[in-house]
Structure 1
Amino acid sequence: MLLTLDNVLSADELSIARQLLAEAHWASGQITAGPQAAMVKNNQQLSEEAPQLPALRHLVLQALSRSAQFFAAALPLKILPPFFNRYSGQSNSYGFHTDNAMRLVPGQPGAYVRSDVSATLFLSEPESYEGGVLTIDDTFGQHGVKCKAGSLVLYPSSSLHAVSPVTSGERLCCFMFLQSMVPDAGQRRLLFDMDMALLQLRQDLGEAPAVVQLTGTYHNLLRRWAQT
C-alpha cells in the first residue's frame, strides 16, 4: 500500500527540524546502506554521533504518536529510530533498490527490526529543489512522489524504489523502517480500508448495530493476523 499522510509535522515542528538540520554536520549516506544499495546510494545522512539526532528523533516520533491514520495504516509494532538525509550538490541521488529485510537497532547490538513498512517524511518544500522524486514500483507500475513539507509517504519495504537526482536546491527528509503487527501487506491494506470505511460510517450513522458488528469483524481480523 502506497499512502501519503499530509501535515504530520506542524509548521512549528518543521521550523525546529530545519534549524537543527542547518546546524548539523552531514556524513556519507553509505553508513546505513546494504551491499546492493551501497552501489547506487549517493546522498548524505546524519551520523549516530550527531548531537542534533536525539531531538530530531523525539520530534518525529512524537508527531507520529498523534496520527491515528499513521497507526491505522502501518499498525506499528516496532519503529526503528528515524534517520535523516540530504540530497544536494554532488550527493544527490539514490538508484533503484530494495530495503534490507532486517535492520540493526542503533546502539543495541543484536537487536533487529524487520522492515515491513518504509516511510519518508519530507522536510523541504517541493518548490525549493529540482528533481528528488521518490519513485516507487508496485504491482500497478511506478509512482512518483514529491510531497509538501511535513507530509509522510508510507510504502512496503519490499518494493523497489529510488530517488531521482536533485539538480538544484536541497532535499531534506526523514526516513524510517517499521515492523508491523500485521506483516502481510495485503492484509494491512484490507484492515486499513475497513478502518477508514468504519470511520465514515460512524460519522454518517453513529453506532448503529451494523457498524458495531463490522467493528467487531475488524478487530477479529486484526486478532487473527496480528503478531506481537
Structure 2
Amino acid sequence: MLIEIPAVFSSEEAAGLRSRLEEANWRDGAGTAGHVAARAKTNLQLADADPLGLEIGAAIVERLAATPRFVAASLPVRILPPRFNLYAGGGAYGRHIDSAVFSAPGTRERVRSDLSATLFLSEPETYDGGELVAEFGMTREQVKLPAGHLLLYPANSLHQVMPVTRGTRIAAFFWIQSLVREQVRRTMMLELDDSIQALAARDSNDPEVVRLTGLYHNLLREWAAT
C-alpha cells in the first residue's frame, strides 16, 4: 500500500532545498547498499555525516512531526535521519527490498524499518523516468510525485526507481519504526482515524466520535510496542 502525504513542504520550500542540494558534495551511492543491492544501484548520495544533509534532514523530521497525516499513517516511534540521493544520466535502482534493521548514525541504537519514505524534491516535469515502482503480490504501483510531497510504503515490499533519462531527480529517503509493526493493523488504524476525522468535521459533539476515538486509543494501546 502506497500512501501519499501531500505538501510536507510547499513547492517554493522544496525549490529552496533543492537548490542547496544541487551544489552538495555528491558521491557514488552504491557504497551505501548491501552487496546484492549495490549491483542494481546507480545513483549519487550525500554522506551520512554531510553537514548540509544533517541540517536539511533535521528540518524534514521537524516538519514531519507537525504533519498530522504523516503521524496518523506511520505512527512513528523512531525515524532514521533522512538521507539524500540524486539520479541522472540513466541512473536507477533496480528491484530490491530494504534492509530490515538500520543503525542510527553515531549511536548503538537499532531501528527496525517498518516503513520506507521518499520525499520528492524535484518537480516531475523537470525529469523523465525516476518513478518509484512498488510491488504488492500481483499488483504493481508506479508513482512520481510533485516536489515537497512524501510517499510512504512498506519497507518489506519489492520496489525500484526507474532510470532517469532526462534531467535530475533529487529526493530524501529514510525509514520509520512504527508503534504498530503490522502493516494490516496500521492500515486499519489509519482508516479508523480517517472516519473519526470525517465525523468530527460534521459534528464534533456526535457521541459516535467519542466512542470511536476511545476504540482507536484502546486498539493502539493493545497493539503498540515502544
Global fold match (TM > 0.5):
yes
Match of 1:57 in 2: 57
Per-residue CA deviation, residues 45-87 of structure 1 (Å, 9 max, x unaligned), is 0012423112111221122112100000000000000000000
Higher alpha-carbon deviation: 138-147 or 163-172:
138-147
Match of 1:212 in 2: 210
| Number of aligned residue pairs | 226
Equivalent pairs: percent with the same residue? 44
Distance in structure 2 (CA, Å) of the matches to 1:148 and 1:213: 37
Say whether 1:134 aligns with 2:132: yes
Match of 2:154 in 1: 156
Match of 2:37 in 1: 37
| Aligned residue type for 1:65 | A
| Aligned residue type for 1:144 | Q
Distance in structure 2 (CA, Å) of the matches to 1:60 and 1:96: 26
Matching of residues 1-228 of structure 1 within 5 Å: 1-89=1-89, 92-108=91-107, 110-139=108-137, 141-228=139-226
> How far does residue 12 in structure 1 lie from its aligned partner after superposition?
4.1
CA contact (8 A) 1:13 1:59 kept: no
Distance in structure 2 (CA, Å) of the matches to 1:100 and 1:138: 17
> How far does residue 17 in structure 1 lie from its aligned partner after superposition?
1.0
| Aligned residue type for 2:122 | S
| Aligned residue type for 1:159 | S
> How far does residue 10 in structure 1 lie from its aligned partner after superposition?
2.1
CA contact (8 A) 1:20 1:56 kept: no
CA contact (8 A) 1:94 1:162 kept: yes
Distance in structure 2 (CA, Å) of the matches to 1:157 and 1:177: 8
SS of match in other structure, 1:103: strand
Higher alpha-carbon deviation: 15-24 or 128-137:
15-24
Return 5+ residue gaps in structure 2 as ranges: none
> How far does residue 31 in structure 1 lie from its aligned partner after superposition?
3.0
Distance in structure 2 (CA, Å) of the matches to 1:79 and 1:119: 10
Distance in structure 2 (CA, Å) of the matches to 1:102 and 1:72: 22
Distance in structure 2 (CA, Å) of the matches to 1:224 and 1:14: 38
Per-residue CA deviation, residues 170-226 of structure 1 (Å, 9 max, x unaligned), is 000000100000000000000000001100000112221121111100110000000
Distance in structure 1 (CA, Å) of the matches to 2:202 and 2:35: 51
| Aligned residue type for 1:204 | R
CA contact (8 A) 1:117 1:180 kept: yes
Distance in structure 2 (CA, Å) of the matches to 1:60 and 1:188: 22
Per-residue CA deviation, residues 117-160 of structure 1 (Å, 9 max, x unaligned), is 00000000000000011000114500000001000010000000
Return the TM-score normalized by structure 1. Answer: 0.95
SS of match in other structure, 2:25: coil
Return the TM-score normalized by structure 2. Answer: 0.96
Distance in structure 2 (CA, Å) of the matches to 1:224 and 1:129: 45
